[in-house]
Amino acid sequence: MRDWLYFDTMVTPKIITFIYWILLAGAVVSGLVLMVKGFGLMRYSGFAGFGMIVAAPILTVLSALLARIYCEIMIVLFKINEALQDIRRK
């Protein structure tokens, strides 16, 4: 309880992990939606629909990668904070 009251333990890294999973799920869902829309567009305009189908997996992977990089940067900042607190205690 003392760790929570004096901010010795950070809660934010746990929240960032949760946010990462939400961002990852969002990337997958948006990729699937884009692919389904691409299949629907192929009925009316073949090339545009095909482009969306090709772009969907690429955008899914890139957005998942960017979410990972963003969350890792945030975690690194908190790890630096923990290391500095350990140095201060010594």
Distance CA 52, CA 31 (A): 10
- Residues belonging to the chain: 90
Chunked in runs of 10, what are the mean pLDDT values of the chain (90 residues)?
73 90 97 92 80 92 96 92 88
pLDDT tens digits, residue range 59-80? 999 999 999 999 999 999 988 9
Distance CA 61, CA 1 (A): 40
The answer to whether the beta carbons of residues 52 and 41 sit under 8 Å apart is yes
What pTM does this model have? 0.78
Phi/psi of residue 6, each to 5°? -105, 10
